[in-house]
A and B are shown apart, each in its own frame.
Chain A
């Protein structure tokens, strides 16, 4: 199949495993037909088809695998994602892509790298995190700040805590509030994500930040990041838009004159700061 066809016709895949993470979020590992591999850059997205339901943009949560699988972390939101959550292992889905630009991993070389994830934003940043850990010696330091609404919906917590024990990752977790029954967890702050950035001082030009989360997260973290010394060019924001085609045709996803599916979804703060309504 030629490249343009891959862009427009979903290739078949089967759900290999489903790992429930929270009440509404699960990790789906898909096996692509013909054991084909599916290379992508962390931060790129795929269009996932659930037959009879439709298609949704999802960013892979793992690194590209050599065994022809791909891992997606999906929250049950509406029509298509609910149908996916009702699927069982062995069921068929479709994949198109990868689309978009992904995070500029090469530009992170030699820098202090800060990953800021809010809620489900951890999914694409987990892929980036794995990439950076694999090439850990290319960057100076690695910090992940991850905020969830409450302890029960914090994703990948054990896995992240374990990665942090190796010393190659500084991990800061926070929850907006404690659930009624919830105990204060060790190694977890209570408060909003931007609070973790208070007092942090980084070297301009030698630091960068990748941010992914709900729209409100961007508005409240950018000032803190700039204060901390991260240059506008080095703040990478992964933006969500309504994506229907993924290939620059349906025109639902423009940010200013930029098409989020092609020129994004990752933009530097400098590129979009003057675009009304971008954030």
Chain B
């Protein structure tokens, strides 16, 4: 099969060219040795063989803290008029692309969120194939999800480049001078056993009601919330408002919240609908694996493995899927 090919020695030029579409960000390794998406100036800033970043790309679409409304006595509440930054995110793995696709379904569904749309439209995505490690279990580690503008499939001396969106097709045309043609067969997608188990559990609608693992998890969990902070499809937010001292203006913010925190289910008067860790675990489980509201029945977990890596007490909700499943007994 004929494919468009970007040779390793043209990568630098390719990165330069990407800056036409916005400020370039990609996987980097920080001074502390943490893999993180961040600004990239030159090819040497990139950490191309990264496994997973600590914080997923959701930070580009839902900043951890974001002004959602401004208030003035004269104009009332208005959307902030600052445009979203034009950015190119290079090197996004399939699982994170799928995470973005999930966020798109949530925030661009029936009641589209205008700020999310603004940030999403200003973000160009360049996907990159990956090497799975023991923590990941995504549906497919090789297939390019449809939402990457460009997708780069790593070969020995370069990358197969494909365009998945209208924007990407336009980009690919402009990229021609840097590309050559090769004969190559993309590797077949591999589906992880864990993802099959997860899907089976979701199809059964199982909440594993009798599993002793719930008590075990609840007893160990520190409620630190790391598992949701680092999850590419955890998006729940809190809303805060700050008035200026003059009483004439105010700012409304949304910031990342966490369903593992005690206050998440509290209502006025102090009644809490999820006072125990077990209930909060079940809440996260329901949302992650079975879905809420319009997305009920759509598992949100994309198998990036981050929650399994970061938990300080080695809690792994996927252990539940090994139970009661005949596919992988």
Chain A interface (Cβ < 8 Å from any Cβ of B): 4-5, 7-12, 33, 49, 51-56, 77-78, 81, 92, 94, 214-215, 240-242, 244-245, 247-252, 254, 256-259, 262-263, 276-277
A251:B112 contact, CB within 8 angstroms: no
B111: chain A residues within 8 A (beta carbon): 4, 7-8, 247-249
A10: chain B residues within 8 A (beta carbon): 69, 76-77
Please measure, in the bound complex, the distance between the C-alpha atom of A276 and the C-alpha atom of B239, giving whole angstroms. Answer: 27
19 CB-based A-B contacts, threshold 8 Å = A4-B111, A4-B114, A49-B77, A52-B243, A77-B268, A77-B269, A78-B268, A81-B268, A241-B265, A244-B239, A245-B239, A248-B292, A249-B107, A250-B236, A251-B259, A252-B264, A257-B296, A258-B296, A262-B293
Interface size in chain B (residues, C-beta < 8 A): 51
Contact of A9 among B79, B257, B292 (CB under 8 A): B79
A259: chain B residues within 8 A (beta carbon): 292-293
New A-B contacts (17) at CB < 8 Å, excluding given A12-B76, A55-B239? A4-B111, A8-B111, A9-B78, A49-B77, A52-B242, A52-B247, A52-B250, A77-B269, A92-B73, A214-B269, A214-B271, A241-B267, A242-B265, A249-B106, A254-B286, A256-B286, A257-B296
Contact of A94 among B77, B242, B267, B274 (CB under 8 A): B77
B252:A250 contact, CB within 8 angstroms: no
A245 to B: closest C-beta gap in Å: 7
B271: chain A residues within 8 A (beta carbon): 214-215
Pair count A-B, CB < 8 A: 125
A257: chain B residues within 8 A (beta carbon): 286, 290-293, 296
B279: chain A residues within 8 A (beta carbon): 276-277
Contact of A254 among B79, B252, B287 (CB under 8 A): B287
Please measure, in the bound complex, the distance between the C-alpha atom of A232 and the C-alpha atom of B275, giving whole angstroms. Answer: 28
Interface assignment of B17: CB less than 8 Å from any CB of chain A: no
B184: chain A residues within 8 A (beta carbon): none
With contacts A51-B243, A257-B291, A259-B293 known, is A252 near B268, CB below 8 A? Answer: no
Interface assignment of B119: CB less than 8 Å from any CB of chain A: no
Interface assignment of B283: CB less than 8 Å from any CB of chain A: yes
With contacts A4-B111, A240-B267, A262-B294 known, is A51 near B71, CB below 8 A? Answer: yes
A54:B293 contact, CB within 8 angstroms: no
B71: chain A residues within 8 A (beta carbon): 49, 51-52, 94
A75 to B: closest C-beta gap in Å: 9
A252:B112 contact, CB within 8 angstroms: no
A260 to B: closest C-beta gap in Å: 9
B287:A251 contact, CB within 8 angstroms: yes
B114:A8 contact, CB within 8 angstroms: yes
Chain B interface (Cβ < 8 Å from any Cβ of A): 68-69, 71, 73, 76-79, 106-107, 110-114, 235-244, 247, 250, 252, 254, 257, 259, 264-269, 271, 273-274, 279, 282-283, 286-287, 290-294, 296
B110: chain A residues within 8 A (beta carbon): 248
A94:B76 contact, CB within 8 angstroms: yes
A54:B252 contact, CB within 8 angstroms: yes
Please measure, in the bound complex, the distance between the C-alpha atom of A214 and the C-alpha atom of B270, giving whole angstroms. Answer: 12
With both beta carbons as reference points, the residue of chain B lying nearest to A10 in the complex is identified as B77
Please measure, in the bound complex, the distance between the C-alpha atom of A241 and the C-alpha atom of B266, giving whole angstroms. Answer: 8
A56: chain B residues within 8 A (beta carbon): 268
With both beta carbons as reference points, the residue of chain A lying nearest to B291 in the complex is identified as A257
A263:B293 contact, CB within 8 angstroms: yes
B113: chain A residues within 8 A (beta carbon): 8, 249
Please measure, in the bound complex, the distance between the C-alpha atom of A66 and the C-alpha atom of B48, giving whole angstroms. Answer: 63
A9:B287 contact, CB within 8 angstroms: no
B71 to A: closest C-beta gap in Å: 5
B175 to A: closest C-beta gap in Å: 36
Please measure, in the bound complex, the distance between the C-alpha atom of A242 and the C-alpha atom of B241, giving whole angstroms. Answer: 16
Please measure, in the bound complex, the distance between the C-alpha atom of A55 and the C-alpha atom of B250, giving whole angstroms. Answer: 12
A9:B267 contact, CB within 8 angstroms: no
B287:A53 contact, CB within 8 angstroms: no
